[in-house]
Structure 1
Amino acid sequence: MYEYLTGLVTVVQPNYIVVDVNGVGYRLLCANPYRYHVDQTKRVRVYVYQAVRDDDISLYGFADSDEKELFIQLLGVSGIGPKSALAILANPDHQGLIDAIADDDVSYLTKFPGIGKKTAGQIVLDLRDSIQKKPTGPLLSLNSQPTKTDNPALDDALAALKALGYKEREVKKLAKQLMKTDAKTTDDYLRAGLKLISQ
């Protein structure tokens, strides 16, 4: 899995760029390729997500890790594929998108191509718990980390549950229940958490 590429932008097209990294050209599909310019002297860092399907392997490029994280979270929504996620991110107002999700503003989300009322509602349902307003400013941040406690073993177990695909709200609820158990190790907490989920 790639995290980012650093190299020279050699091609800019309407839906992709090519980044030359030590003589190898990587084609990266981008929400807005025109934020980059062909420049044989200035190296750029582009964050990358690799999507593998039966008939295709594609690389998606992002200006920063926050944009990449937002793309990944959008992919986790039922009915949203890479093409739809890129179309949503093509709007430079990512803050407006995050605000809309946090505020349950379905009508804002239906303005994006291919996003109907049902899919917009699903975006809000799936992502609102992972988006958190910062009280000290207008910016919002993606809250991709599970609930933190004063117990490192429990924290690791919660992180493992989230890595398995459980939603933030499920993990938060489990954290409270797991604190009441007599588990001591990460493995104990993880086993107890999985048992509670399956009940």
Structure 2
Amino acid sequence: MIDSLNGEVIAIGLDHAVIECAGVGYRFMATPPTLGRLTRGENARVLTAMVVKEDSMTLYGFTDDDGRSMFHRLTTVSGLGPKLAMASLSVFEPAELAGHITAGDSKAIQAIPGVGKKMADRLILELKDKLKGVYAAPAAEGDASGAATAATASASFATEQVVEALVGLGFPEKSARTAVGAVVEEDPEVDSSALLRAALNRLGKK
């Protein structure tokens, strides 16, 4: 099993990066926040998790053990695969997600692209007890405005993630924020993956 990679970053894509270790380039899937912390040509260390299927072996990269451990926990949920686990970590930090799950906040969890009410309820049912005390949960909201506040915070966090990813790809922060802001203005409910693609498209036209 490959537990971590430490070497030069030789490529960064929309959802992956490649780190060269001892002459071998290892491609791994990662979230925008993780990709945003990488820079081509510089050395970096990422923790990894390998998912083996009948027809593939895929590496997933994380900046810290909290992200990796949450990834492993999420993939134990019935019907929730690695792709959806990564989408979850693209929207929420591990502690934030754990807080929503232990609080039973199904509506906040549905901010994750591809997660509907049924999957959100399943996450709560299967992980609520397992996550208690593992992460520091965010403060609970006591009224109906809590859900709206959580949704706004999630959207803002996703925007910052995409800006980080674009800066990591070599774009100036000012240009990245302008492009991301324009996309969000056109579609306030755009998910982080679509936001990253649309912002890259705008920056590529300049």
TM-score, normalised via structure 2 length: 0.62
Partner of 2:79: 79
- Decide whether aligned partners of structure 1 residues 11 and 87 sit closer, same or farther in structure 2, where only a CA change above 3 A counts: same
Give the greater-gyration-radius structure (CA). Answer: 1
- The gaps in structure 1 that reach 5 residues or longer are 141-199
How big is the shift at 1:47?
0.7
Amino acid corresponding to residue 36 of structure 2 in structure 1: R
Counterpart-to-counterpart distance in 2, 1:37 and 1:103: 33
How big is the shift at 1:92?
4.6
Amino acid corresponding to residue 37 of structure 2 in structure 1: Y
Q: After superposition, what is the alpha-carbon deviation per residue over 1:78-98, rounded to whole angstroms, capped at 9, x for unaligned?
A: 110111111111125333211
Identity percentage of aligned residues: 32
- Higher strand content, 1 or 2: 1
Partner of 1:124: 124
Residue pair 1:9, 1:36 contacting (<8 A) in 2 also: no
Counterpart-to-counterpart distance in 1, 2:118 and 2:92: 23
Aligned length: 136
Partner of 1:31: 31
Report SS of the residue matched to 1:90.
Answer: helix
Write out aligned runs for 1:21-170 (5 A). 21-32=21-32, 33-40=34-41, 42-133=42-133, 139-140=136-137
Amino acid corresponding to residue 73 of structure 1 in structure 2: R
Q: After superposition, what is the alpha-carbon deviation per residue over 1:60-110, rounded to whole angstroms, capped at 9, x for unaligned?
A: 001111100000000000110111111111125333211101101111111
Report SS of the residue matched to 2:98.
Answer: helix
Residue pair 1:12, 1:36 contacting (<8 A) in 2 also: no
Amino acid corresponding to residue 120 of structure 2 in structure 1: A
Counterpart-to-counterpart distance in 2, 1:88 and 1:139: 17
Counterpart-to-counterpart distance in 1, 2:40 and 2:113: 31
Higher relative contact order (CA 8 A, sep 6+): 2
- Higher helix content, 1 or 2: 2
